[in-house]
């Protein structure tokens, strides 16, 4: 089975010689690897499973020749593209064919990270110690002293010594098979083809990632005859890039992916969706005492005070009640112990503006939050603060209702200081009748359904907050 196209139509529309000749220079090693690869694909019977990723470099046009699925990648990104293909269709045999600039320079991060992932793809690496397509510049694999157009005096150690990719890849845990082979004589070419066969077989059998580095000839940019270039690879390159198997693990087939599921039940279950229920009770009126159809609240404290959880409980309870509601968290840069405040809106119809720069209600758990946000509470609004933590409250603007609630103390009395946020919600409910108490409690039970030990505690904390609100405390 010939895996080359009959006619290279993609090569300048297949006109004249280009219909059957490659674009490679005379004596270039790419053509030999192409033949070995094409023959191997045919012999393994995987022509109808293969996706070949062409890189950027001289082999950018590999898709002119191989009669398989073809994708052409950006410079250095072929392994990432290969991984995308492999995960999209695990049945495909995906080959990332790359040169030294592509694989070992601009694509080094992709090369190493995807090798370490170890998913079964095959990387064919053509190392000819020079950039070809861009015109003979220094490659990461250029030898010390080797003259190129960007190392005209010869490569110096400070330009980086030649990078031994096969050894580098072999010391990673991901790959199962790494070998360096060459093309400079018949015996080496036989080994090269065997290495390609083995690498593809490992992928077909789902055993893992394989990497074949092939020392190749670039007569054009080495400015030598093809024969002299073969000799140069043998005498100059090979000592720096020793041939041989660098890694060969015996691994049982393990790569076995199922087709993705599109089951509605699975998707809904994982999304946390619940079956629709029929509402019978008449809807609660939103905080009639505050006289608004779009109520804004700010809950503020130190990180860990529970302002965000209380805000989310309010939002969820409001939505469960049939209102529109939003919550926007804002954290300081620290994960713990920084500032934390939440803007909540609850609207009868639609929350227009979800921010709460001048809230109707402020709940403050620490002194800095109270000092910062109390002046912003709008006229006729409500301020609830934790009296346990804030012993010297600031002067409040007039015409604001202020409730000093010993949130932390009440929670400590219940044995869980962190329940102070729920104490504050109890106080809020008693002071405003914002949402029905039964609804809030029901939402709370639902939210904590996986932590049932917290439910009775939070119910007690909510009740404690409700009870403490009486006209005397204002």
Partner 1 sequence: MPSVTTNSRPKPFLDPAYCKGCLRCVEACPKGCISPGTRINPATGLVPVEINLEICNGCGLCISACPEPFGLRTSPATPGAELEREFQIKDPSKLFGRKVVDLHESPGLPDEEIELPACEPLVLKGTYAAAIGALLAGCRHVFGYPITPSTEGAELMAKILPHLDGAFVQAVSEVAAVNMMYGAGGAGVPSMTFTSSPGFSLMLEGISYMIGAEIPGVFVNIMRGGPGLGNIGPEQADIKLACRGLGHGNTHALVLAPSTPQEMLDLTMEAFALSFRYRNPVVILGDGYLGQMTGQVKLPTHLRKPGRPAWAVWGDRSHRQNLICSIHLAEPDLEEHNRRLNAKYAEIASREQRSDLYRCEDAEVLVIACNTPARMAKGAVEAARRQGIKAGLLRPISLWPFPGDALAEAIRHVRQIIMVEASPGQLENELRLTLSHAGIVPPPIAAVRHFGGVLPQESEILAKISEFREALA
Please give the residues from 256 up to 285 whose contact with partner 1 meets the rule CB under 8 A: 257-262, 264, 266-268, 270-277
Using rule CB under 8 A, residue 353 touches partner 1:
yes
Choose between 145 and 332: whose C-beta lies nearer to partner 1: 332
In sequence order, the β-bridge partners of residue 210 are 122, 177
H or E, element range at 238:
helix 238-240
The mark string for 22-41 relative to partner 1 (x by CB under 8 A, - otherwise) is x-xxxxxxxxx-xxx-x---
| Contact of 69 with 5, CB cutoff 8 Å | no
Nearest to 285 by CA among 322, 327, 340, 326: 322
Closest approach of partner 1 to the CB of residue 252, in Å: 21
Assess 438 for contact with partner 1 (CB under 8 A): no
Q: For residues 73 and 115, is the Cβ–Cβ distance under 8 A?
A: no
Which of 79, 86, 109 is CA-nearest to residue 211? 79
**Shortest gap between Cβ of 268 and partner 1 (angstroms)?**
6
b or e along 171-206 (b: 16 or more beta carbons within 10 Å of the residue's beta carbon)? ebebbbbbbbbbbbeeebbebbbebbbbbbbbbbeb
Q: How far is CA 215 from CA 150, 299, 433, in A?
A: 21, 66, 79
CB of 422 to partner 1, least distance (A): 18
Question: Which CB, 188 or 366, lies closer to partner 1?
Answer: 188
Residues 196-235 that bind partner 1 (CB under 8 A): 219, 225-227, 230
> How far apart are CB 336 and partner 1 at their closest, in Å?
16
- The answer to the question of residue 375 lying near partner 1 (CB under 8 A) is no
Q: Determine the size of the site formed for partner 1 (CB under 8 A).
A: 112
Q: Is 236 exposed, middle or buried (0-12, 13-18, 19+ CB in 10 A)?
A: middle
Within residues 90-119, the interface with partner 1 by CB under 8 A covers: 91-94, 109-110, 112-114, 117
Least CB distance to partner 1 at residue 274 (A): 5
One of 43, 45, 190, 304 touching partner 1 (CB under 8 A): 190
Handedness of CA 450, 453, 458, 459 (dihedral sign): positive
Task: Report phi then psi at 66, rounded to 5.
Answer: -85, 125
By beta-carbon proximity to partner 1, the closer residue of 354 and 439 is 354
Contacting residue, 44, 51, 286, 362, with partner 1 by CB under 8 A: 51
- Binding segment for partner 1 (CB under 8 A), chosen from 55-63, 143-151, 390-398, 419-427, is 55-63
Q: Which residues pair with 123 in a beta bridge?
A: 96, 211
CB of 370 to partner 1, least distance (A): 22
Q: Of residues 305-324, which lie at the interface with partner 1 (CB under 8 A)?
A: 312, 315-316, 319, 324
Rank residues 268 and 281 by Cβ distance to partner 1 and give the closer one.
Answer: 268
Q: How far is the CB of 86 from partner 1 (least distance, A)?
A: 8
Residues 194, 181: Cα–Cα separation, whole Å? 10
Distance CA(331)–CA(424), nearest Å, equals 20
Applying the rule CB under 8 A, the residues between 111 and 170 that interact with partner 1 are 112-114, 117
Using CB under 8 A, pick the residue from 41, 81, 166, 384 that binds partner 1: 81
């Amino acid at each position: 089975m010939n895996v080359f196209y009959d006619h290279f139509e993609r090569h300048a529309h297949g006109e004249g010689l280009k219909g059957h000749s490659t674009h490679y220079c005379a004596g270039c090693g790419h053509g030999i690897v192409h033949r070995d690869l094409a023959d191997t694909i045919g012999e393994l019977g995987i022509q109808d499973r293969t996706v070949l990723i062409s890189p950027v470099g001289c082999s950018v046009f590999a898709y002119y020749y191989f009669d398989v699925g073809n994708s052409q990648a950006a410079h250095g990104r072929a392994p990432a593209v290969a991984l995308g293909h492999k995960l999209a269709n695990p049945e495909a045999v995906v080959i990332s064919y790359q040169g030294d600039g592509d694989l070992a320079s601009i694509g080094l991060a992709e090369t190493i990270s995807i090798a370490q992932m170890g998913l079964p793809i095959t990387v064919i690496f053509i190392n000819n110690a020079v950039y070809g397509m861009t015109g003979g510049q220094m490659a990461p694999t250029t030898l010390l002293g080797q003259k190129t157009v960007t190392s005209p005096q010869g490569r110096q150690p400070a330009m980086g010594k030649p990078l031994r990719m096969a050894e580098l890849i072999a010391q990673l845990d991901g790959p199962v098979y790494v070998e360096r082979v060459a093309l400079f004589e018949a015996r080496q070419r036989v080994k090269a083809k065997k290495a390609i066969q083995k690498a593809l077989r490992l992928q077909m059998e789902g055993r893992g990632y394989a990497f074949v580095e092939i020392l190749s000839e670039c007569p054009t940019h080495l400015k030598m005859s093809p024969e002299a270039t073969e000799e140069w690879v043998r005498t100059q390159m090979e000592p720096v890039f020793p041939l041989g198997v660098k890694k060969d693990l015996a691994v049982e087939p393990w790569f076995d992916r199922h087709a993705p599921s599109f089951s509605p039940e699975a998707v809904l279950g994982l999304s946390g969706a619940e079956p629709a229920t029929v509402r019978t009770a008449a809807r609660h009126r939103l905080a009639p005492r505050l006289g608004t159809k779009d109520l804004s609240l700010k809950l503020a404290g130190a990180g860990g005070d529970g302002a965000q959880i209380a805000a989310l409980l309010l939002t969820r309870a409001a939505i469960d009640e049939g209102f529109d509601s939003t919550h926007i968290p804002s954290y300081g840069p620290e994960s713990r112990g920084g500032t934390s405040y939440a803007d909540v809106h609850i609207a009868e119809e639609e929350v227009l503006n979800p921010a709460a720069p001048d809230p109707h209600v402020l709940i403050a758990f620490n002194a800095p939050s109270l000092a910062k946000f109390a002046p912003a509470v709008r006229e006729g609004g409500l301020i609830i603060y934790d009296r346990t933590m804030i012993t010297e409250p600031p002067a409040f603007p007039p015409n604001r209702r202020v409730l000093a609630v010993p949130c932390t103390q009440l929670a400590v009395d219940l044995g869980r200081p962190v329940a102070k946020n729920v104490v504050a919600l109890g106080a809020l409910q008693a002071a405003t009748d914002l949402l029905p108490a039964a609804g809030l409690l029901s939402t709370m039970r639902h939210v904590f359904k996986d932590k049932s030990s917290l439910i009775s505690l939070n119910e007690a904390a909510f009740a404690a907050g409700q009870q403490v609100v009486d006209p005397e405390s204002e």
